[in-house]
Amino acid sequence: MIRLSVVLPVYNEVENLPRLLEALATTLQGTQTPYEIICVDDGSQDGSTELLRHLAQTRCDLRAVLLRRNYGQTAAMAAGFHAARGEVIVTLDSDLQNDPQDIPRLLDKLAQGYDLVSGWRRERQDATVTRLIPSRIANWLIGWVTGVRLHDYGCSLKAYRAELVADLNLYGELHRFLPALAYIEGAKIAEVEVLHHPRLFGRSKYGLDRTFRVLMDLLTIAFMKTFLTRPMHVFGFFGLGAIGAGLGLGIYLTCLKLFLHQSIGSRPLLFLAVMLLLGGVQLFGFGLLAELQMRTYHESQGRPIYRVREVLGAGLPEVGKG
């Protein structure tokens, strides 16, 4: 019985991997919990793939999931979640910036009855202008939009209950919003301060453009949070409101024309009435469509966002192939 699965997305981290696995094994063996480490190779080109291939054959605590190409961190994490068999899943970066020593404290917190425990890199070791400031703003915005108040959304070191992860569908680069998505699913979320180290080997895979991607993803999340279950409540409300106002104005103008014989053809009010009617009908129709769309969204789940080439190690069935 495996209780703990540690999921590591790996993209060109050949120098970090051996050190990281060493540190992980030391910490995890100390916890006396049956564990597995799942390395998801996200199409590395620097030899990480070959290293993992080798390690998966020699270590009994390691499974390697090799993706066919570079799909991005979110897909790599999703593949890891899919392969994980533990009751608890811990994720961290494979670049040694997160410290495995923090895992037991996350697990303790999780055991207090939380579904998700997120790390908070209080003393973060990244460049100030390009990383820390955008991240400050992003954290504040995300907290404000989603209603989940965390200090540090970007920290990869997190612990989850497996059944929570099973409910989450990841797309695009939404791994940063896992706490927000979990919150939409009704999870109890806590935060724990963790260590953070500068990157010693390899390079960061992200640049400044990440800020904009995060903003776009945030819009998606805000939209999902509002509309996921009842789009008609929002669109229908505004649609009917606009239709009502348009009709009222139209009736008023018709009365002016019929009973007071005024000319209404050039009145701005007439245009407003027409616009409101048309806009209202469209909003209403859009709400209905969104409602159908959301049904499809909810009912057609179970499609992975990645394709696994092969799964190595521990003689287990292949995961998500096809």
Q: Which residues bind Mg ion (CB under 5 A)?
A: 93, 95, 97
**Total interface residues for ligand UDP by CB under 6 A:** 16
Identify the sign of the CA torsion 48, 39, 62, 34.
positive
Q: Which of residues 200-229 bind ligand UDP (CB under 6 A)?
A: 204-206
Q: Which is nearer to Mg ion, 138 or 311 (CB)?
A: 138
x-or-dash pattern for ligand UDP, window 145-184, by CB under 6 A?
----------------------------------------
Three-state DSSP state, 260: coil
| Helical H segments across the chain, by residue range | 16-30, 48-58, 73-83, 103-111, 133-146, 162-167, 178-184, 210-227, 231-259, 268-299
Q: Measured between alpha carbons, how far is 12 from 94 in angstroms, rounded to an integer?
A: 9
Select the binding partner of residue 11 from ligand UDP, Mg ion, none (C-beta < 5 to 8 A, by kind).
ligand UDP
Q: Which of 179, 253, 193, 249 is nearest to 221 (CA)?
A: 179
For ligand UDP, which residue of 5, 49, 91, 97 counts as binding (CB under 6 A)?
A: 97
183: tokens are 């919150």
Out of ligand UDP, Mg ion, none, what residue 151 binds, judged by CB under 5 to 8 A for its kind, is none
Distance CA 262, CA 253 (A): 9
Q: Of the two residues 76 and 148, which places its CB atom closer to ligand UDP in the complex?
A: 76
What one-character-per-residue DSSP string does 278-317 give?
A: HHHHHHHHHHHHHHHHHHHHHHT----SS-EEEEESTT--
Which of Mg ion, ligand UDP, none sits in contact with 13, Cβ below 5 to 8 A by type? ligand UDP
Interface with ligand UDP includes 13 (CB under 6 A)? Answer: yes
Alpha helices in 31-68 (DSSP H): 48-58
Choose the one of Mg ion, ligand UDP, none that binds residue 5, judging by a C-beta under 5 to 8 angstroms depending on kind: none
Q: How far is the CB of 77 from ligand UDP (least distance, A)?
A: 8
Could you list the residues that contact ligand UDP (CB under 6 A)?
9-11, 13, 42, 70, 72-73, 76, 93-95, 97, 204-206
